Amino acid sequence: MQNVSKFQAITQCKCPKCRKGNVFQYPWIRLNKFSEMHKHCPVCGVRFEVEPGFFFGAMYISYAFSVATFIICGLATYLLGNNPEAWVYVTVVIVVVLLTFPSSFRYSRILMLHLFSGIDHEPDAVDKEVKHKN
């Protein structure tokens, strides 16, 4: 059986339990639907929202991504633009935050799932009743 590392499961947005099922329903490029998640894993049936409001915690991870984006964009603008005027910094940061919003949203939830949900990896987890749940 193919072994998927935790790192691969995170980068590919897979279920923390079986590491095979997709957490999100559509590829991120479907920009109108990038945020729609499966309620249960399509492969093993684990419920992703382990408690009500679980994903509110993802906002803190998303916030950390935003701060990192501000710092990286600020430094890059300063170095590449030879310390331009303030509006250039603001424009660069806004554009980059908008462009990275879908991946920031997704990876904050994926990290929340993999690091804080308490769902352990079970390589052989399969749910036969999964079709009734989704």
Interface ranges with Zn ion (CB under 5 A): 15, 17-18, 21, 41, 43-44
C-beta closer to Zn ion: residue 43 or 92 = 43
Taking the complex as a whole, how short is the minimal distance between the CB of residue 52 and Zn ion, in angstroms? 20
Taking the complex as a whole, how short is the minimal distance between the CB of residue 64 and Zn ion, in angstroms? 26
Supply the DSSP string of 58-99, one letter for each residue: HHHHHHHHHHHHHHHHHHHHHHHTTS--HHHHHHHHHHHHHH
C-beta closer to Zn ion: residue 17 or 114 = 17
Taking the complex as a whole, how short is the minimal distance between the CB of residue 19 and Zn ion, in angstroms? 7
List Cα–Cα distances, 4 to 10, 14, 50, 107, in angstroms: 10, 10, 22, 18
Three-state SS for 110? helix
C-beta closer to Zn ion: residue 13 or 61 = 13
**Nearest Cα to 43, choosing from 4, 6, 16?**
16
C-beta closer to Zn ion: residue 15 or 112 = 15
Cα dihedral sign, 79-80-83-85: negative
Taking the complex as a whole, how short is the minimal distance between the CB of residue 127 and Zn ion, in angstroms? 8
